[in-house]
Structure 1
Amino acid sequence: MAIDYAAVFQALPGAVALLSVDLVFVDANLAFLSQAGRSRDQVVGRYLFDAFPANPGDPGASGARNLEASLRRVLLTREADTMALQRYDVESAERDGRWEERYWSPVNAPAFAPDGRIAVLIHRVEEVTELLRATGRAGGERNLEAELYSRMRELHQVNERLRKAHAREREVALALQRAMLPVPAPVGPHQVAVRYRPAVGSLNVCGDWYDLVRLVDGDRIAVAVGDVVGHGLEAAGVMGQLRSALSATSRVAKGPAQALEVLGRYAHSVEGAQSTSAVTVFIDWDHHTLTYSSAGHPPPVLLRGAGGADLLDRATDPPLDAAPEPRTRPEATVTFTEGDTLVLYTDGLIERRYQDIDTGLDRLVESLEAGRHITSPEALADAVLSDMLPAEGMTDDTALVVVRL
């Protein structure tokens, strides 16, 4: 017997709505519409927080903010998220401007398309307002409803104080990031673009870094990116130490392999530097060569102006402190022509959960080849980030350097 799943969805005794990844209502069953006091026309096709805005008369209301945060977590982690009990007032369907105090128990979960993308978000919600009121009356003791309302108001006030404290903390973090990852100094006539994007929920500081160093002889620079495991101020502190050490070492090293070898020895003495990856490329415009070495880092890409793209993966070694004893690291050299583009990045640009890293590398090469006509490194960097990074944000930080050769 064929099952009409659309009819089953409408007949579900629980209140369920389906949302697009842009948080627009795709569908809602009868139980959901009944609990919300809305018709299908008032819900389906509308943005979630247009259909159900926060109560403007309660500046401390956090229900809408908490619900959006939960849905963003589901998009980011691709896993279900069970929310704590929420107060989320609803405007009366009969009287505009009148808001009814309501309490809900929500669960949000992803539903996947055959290609692995999130097709829709399932928003299951149970209203518990009447249950709380009934429980408060049945006890014959203190009014549970009044107690709950009081606790919720206190929670709103605490959330607001935390929000302000977090905003101040972000200001400090941004100042630290600007100090550690300044806009690089001009490198002669050469065009360079750098980008950094933090992970969702981080303080805007991380263990990813980039660096450009003018070398002492000839028309040469060293460009590098690296990635310290972890997020937050501790990882940023380790990042600052390693970035500064590599910057200094590159100025006196014979080549990138020696620079990473010395940095690896230094990393052994830095707490928190375990499993750090880095790649550095010495660009020589006098001889039109790129000499590179990688310590466990994704390969740079050389986008050829005449067509095609090469992964610079012939000098790859384990991360900085992986070997128990210092060892000579490999390096390789390739030639370039005027109009080629060199791209370095950290793994946040290409790695995704449930996806092979080779898929991410293929997508990056496709994005670069699609942007081959873009001559400005600034514009190309923006185009690549737009293509590669999900709209809902990343779980890992991303650094990107684009050099026009």
Structure 2
Amino acid sequence: MSDSGGPDVTQELRLPWDEDPDDLYEHAPCGYLTTLPDGTVVKVNQTFLTWTGYQRADLVGHRRFRDLLSSGGQIYYETHYAPLLRIQNEVHELAFDVVCADGRTLPTLVNSMLARGPEGEPRAIRTMVFDATERRGYEKELLFARKRAEDSERRIQVLQQVVADLAAAPTEAEVAEAVLRAPEPAFGAVSSSIYLVDAERDTIVAVSSTDPATGDGDDMPRSSPRAVARVAERGDLHVVGSLTEAKEHFPDLVDSMRRSGRNTVVLLPLTTGPADDQLGAQTLGVLAFSFTGERRLSDHELRVVRLLGQHAGQALDRARLYDDLRRREGWATFLAETTRSLDELHRLLARARRLVDAMVPEIAVWASVRLSVGPDGVLEEAGTAAPDGDQLADALARVTASGRPLFPAPGEAPGCVVLPLTARGRVLGTLSLRMAPDRRGVAGEQHFLTELADRAGLALENARLYEQERQIARTLQRSLLAGRLPSGDARFAVETYYQAGAQDLEVGGDWFDAFLITGDRLAVAVGDVVGRGIDAATTMGQLRSAIRALAGEGVGPARMLEGLDRFVDRVESARMATVAYAEVDLATCELTYACAGHLPPLVQEPAGSPEFLLDARSAALGSRAGDRRRTEHTRTLAAGSRLLLYTDGLIERRTRPIDKGFEVLAREFARRRDAPLQGLSAALADTLVGRDHADDVCLLCLTLGTEERMERSIGAERMQIALLRADLRAWLVSHGVGPETRDAVLLACSEAVANSIEHGYRDDPFGTIDVVATVTEDAVEVKVTDRGTWRGAVTDVARGRGLQLIRQSMDQVLFDRSDGTTVTMRRAREAE
């Protein structure tokens, strides 16, 4: 009792047992979780563990709340739950699917509250989780009931949407797809197929179907007795309501109906007007859809079906006009782009290949260009395998003889099309195409292909004329360059290289020359005439001839250039030409040179770095400005020195200073100091210029005297062996080594280098091989050294044919593997 005499309410509400707060938390009717702000679980009650099947140790400190959610729940957690919780400090009744320990999902509703510290910083998140399984089931039942109620309304909406889609569909394929999908949602059909009439090929084509049994092989002639063809011919709606009716009127449907268990088939013609419109109605296709069991369509449904056929037919008619317009625009674009693309290339073979690449696969699956030029006439083929060889050969012969295109006959499947390539009234060759097997004939395609062949024929004829003119220009240029250069003298060797610029039809004015003034005096020259074209080339030939005429014993470079100045006064086109000219006394190795406005020669002596010869420089030929007196300079070179004369195309670039060009040239020339002379100039041009350069490149490399000791370093490439052999042969000849010893040394050295490439550097294409050759009065010794890893292959080589040839050729062969592999070979010499 209370002090007032009334009942003690607290005493009356007290339970007969004491409630344990921990037990209330653990076994509450909802799940409780406490997580850190990052979602890491730090506390969870037993209810949540029981629902999900997790152990407490699996979650606390190891998992985040978001990790327990489904993939969609994790995304919703990041995009909605977490931002709302940070902003509002609490969220209520958010639906999540929790992934249980056994992989099943538990529908839940989640309430969370964010607890913050004294400074407002997030400290923990307290979350309540409610089991929403029964609620989810109830919601599903409600949705299912609503869906059934909406089905009837949806049918009308589907038809309205189909009409809207047909109005918006611009292409025939989109119209067909919209019509194909209508029967299933609108009438409850289980499958539907659409067939379109191809008037060009006189066939009915199975375009698309939701029935896997209907495919590409279901095409048929328009005259076929099959149900689809008969409906397309009559233009009337047919509903086959049973197998008995199918046997009586459309026997071809019986097997498919019996096999699929579909006893009702609707055949709807897609017409451009009402069926009784005898003047304007045209059937463009047939829509076939079927039902499981016998389905009776009401009169209202039949009217809707007929209306669908008319709307679809009108949409198809409009779409075909649109497709035709778009196709013709595409053809016009293709013709313009292909013509422009062919004009970008100058070579005949390149244009033919690009034409084939443009055709396949955009126009055809296979294409071939055959011209009456070239070694075999066949320039390119691409795509799938060609048609039957005999048939194609016969078609090619007929088209070439008649000059008229050959297309498949009407009603035939798309096959090989052969078009004549004509230009200026002459048949150059043929363009053969193979269209895709499922390609439908389209109006205007033959006219498009004919115009394409006409444009391609003109482009190929222009390329042929271009190559013809290019060959004439190159022949002219070669005829104006120096003829046979002096050779066979052991005291010197000359190698030259010429590369025309990218403007193939324009001959240039770069030139080189080398000739003997006397038996002991050699002259070398490299020059550059201003401009390009025939005038520059003929001027170059005149200058080269003038130098040979002016050079003579006792004249020297300075007086020769002064004579050229007087010559240029009478030849205006030679004015401002540049020349680097040098004379070499072969007995003393004295070099006397002069440069008239030309780039300085580069000399590389056996010892030391490359050096540009900067003395004896003066203005270009015929220059009216400044001092016109010419000077010359003389210096003695050591035996084995190399002199390089070149034109500006080798080093001048718009993208860098000329000093950088000189630096690169000197570095690359020094790097090849021990390389064979043969191929040296071409290698320099490839490195410094490449093959696509707008300016001409002209080089002349002169090697003076005989090296007492030949030292070469070559890359581990088989193509280097031939260059080394030529260099070694010349060196042996200069030392008077007889032919028998010379041939033996060349064979043994080649075999040793080949073994080093194959065995020492099989896994290292960037390796180098050092070759050192010495000659004494009694013998020739050659050492071939590599630093590769032979992996015991020396033993294999010893048993092989390579070492047998070396031993048969040489008197002594030694292997040293202390530092890489060195093969030392000696051979006694005989007097030449």
- TM-score (normalizing by structure 2): 0.32
- Unaligned 5+ runs, structure 2: 1-334, 347-354, 369-443, 705-832
User: Does 2:557 align with 1:256?
Assistant: yes
Counterpart residue number, 2:358: 89
Partner of residue 240 from structure 1, selected from 521, 527, 541: 541
Post-superposition shift, 1:365?
A: 0.5
- Any idea what the Cα deviations from partners look like across 1:361-384, whole Å, max 9, x if unmatched? 11111110110111x322221221
* Cα distance in structure 1, aligned partners of 2:476 and 2:363: 52
For the Cα contact (< 8 Å) 2:584–2:591, is it kept in 1?
yes
Post-superposition shift, 1:247?
A: 1.4
Counterpart residue number, 1:322: 623
Counterpart residue number, 2:696: 397
User: Does 2:650 align with 1:349?
Assistant: yes
Q: 1:370 to 1:315 in 2, by over 3 A?
A: same
Counterpart residue number, 1:290: 591
For the Cα contact (< 8 Å) 1:264–1:326, is it kept in 2?
no
Counterpart residue number, 1:210: 512
For the Cα contact (< 8 Å) 1:207–1:236, is it kept in 2?
yes
For the Cα contact (< 8 Å) 2:640–2:703, is it kept in 1?
yes
* Cα distance in structure 2, aligned partners of 1:323 and 1:177: 29
Post-superposition shift, 1:184?
A: 1.4
Partner of residue 161 from structure 1, selected from 457, 461, 470: 461
Bigger radius of gyration: 2
- Any idea what the Cα deviations from partners look like across 1:219-240, whole Å, max 9, x if unmatched? 2101000000112211101101
Please state whether the residue corresponding to 2:583 is helix, strand or coil: strand
- Any idea what the Cα deviations from partners look like across 1:6-27, whole Å, max 9, x if unmatched? xxxxxxxxxxxxxxxxxxxxxx
Q: 1:96 to 1:229 in 2, by over 3 A?
A: same
- Any idea what the Cα deviations from partners look like across 1:288-327, whole Å, max 9, x if unmatched? 2111100110011001211211101111111001126983
Partner of residue 197 from structure 1, selected from 471, 481, 499: 499
Post-superposition shift, 1:165?
A: 1.6
Name the aligned partner's letter for residue 170 of structure 1: R
Alignment of 1:381-392 (within 5 A): 381-391=681-691
Q: 1:332 to 1:161 in 2, by over 3 A?
A: same
For the Cα contact (< 8 Å) 1:63–1:88, is it kept in 2?
no
Post-superposition shift, 1:89?
A: 3.3
User: Does 2:607 align with 1:306?
Assistant: yes
Partner of residue 275 from structure 1, selected from 576, 589, 610: 576
Please state whether the residue corresponding to 1:202 is helix, strand or coil: coil
Aligned-pair identity in percent equals 32
Please state whether the residue corresponding to 1:192 is helix, strand or coil: strand
Counterpart residue number, 1:224: 525
Name the aligned partner's letter for residue 400 of structure 1: L
For the Cα contact (< 8 Å) 1:92–1:98, is it kept in 2?
no
Larger RCO of the pair (alpha carbons < 8 Å, separation 6+) = 1
Counterpart residue number, 1:333: 634
- Unaligned 5+ runs, structure 1: 1-57, 70-85, 100-143
- Any idea what the Cα deviations from partners look like across 1:240-282, whole Å, max 9, x if unmatched? 1111001111125621011111111111211321221111011
Name the aligned partner's letter for residue 590 of structure 2: T
Name the aligned partner's letter for residue 288 of structure 1: C
Post-superposition shift, 1:198?
A: 0.3
For the Cα contact (< 8 Å) 2:619–2:628, is it kept in 1?
no
Q: 1:62 to 1:366 in 2, by over 3 A?
A: farther
For the Cα contact (< 8 Å) 1:202–1:232, is it kept in 2?
no
Name the aligned partner's letter for residue 489 of structure 2: G
Name the aligned partner's letter for residue 162 of structure 1: N
Name the aligned partner's letter for residue 245 of structure 1: A
* Cα distance in structure 1, aligned partners of 2:363 and 2:459: 32
For the Cα contact (< 8 Å) 1:300–1:344, is it kept in 2?
yes
Partner of residue 472 from structure 2, selected from 165, 169, 172: 172
* Cα distance in structure 1, aligned partners of 2:339 and 2:553: 55
For the Cα contact (< 8 Å) 1:293–1:331, is it kept in 2?
yes
Higher helix share: 2
* Cα distance in structure 2, aligned partners of 1:275 and 1:150: 54
Please state whether the residue corresponding to 2:695 is helix, strand or coil: coil
